[in-house]
Amino acid sequence: EVQLVQSGGGLVQPGGSLRLSCEASGFIFSSYWMYWVRQAPGKGLEWVSSISVRGNTQYYADVVKGRFTISRDNDKNTVYLQMNSLEPEDTAVYYCVKDPAAYKATYCLGGSCSVPDRNSNYWGQGTQVTVSS
């Protein structure tokens, strides 16, 4: 059974940092691109970042570029999202998502990605990030 179990998140002041983790099981983690997606209160889903199977290629949404860093540890079956210089606009529920196809960036083209299909992919349970003073 595929599982994506998230941890991290919480309440942080503007300018602060948080790290999200997503531990995978039930599939060959090192064969799949992974994504981070978020949903702010009252808004739709927004793609945040993606990482290749070996971690040597990362893509970021413009709104987080230079502040967030995606990484992965294939020995630990875990993908991370390091978030620095957090802003109130980063307040959202964050989800990690597995690509449906091995060795493919199904939702990425030309350095940018779209939100993975919620109904046909495996998603983590979500974790709340609140940036507020």
Per-residue pLDDT reduced to its tens digit, 66-107: 999 999 999 999 999 999 999 999 999 999 999 999 999 999
Edge to edge, the sheet with strand 10-12 lists: 10-12, 127-131, 92-98, 34-39, 45-51, 58-60
Q: What is the pLDDT of residue 77?
A: 98
Region 55-74: mean pLDDT is 98
Q: Show the tokens assigned to 12.
A: 């942080």
The answer, yes or no, to whether residue 120 has pLDDT greater than 80, is no
Q: What is the pLDDT of residue 79?
A: 98
**How far apart, in whole angstroms, are the C-alpha atoms of residue 11 and residue 62?**
23
Q: What is the pLDDT of residue 118?
A: 83
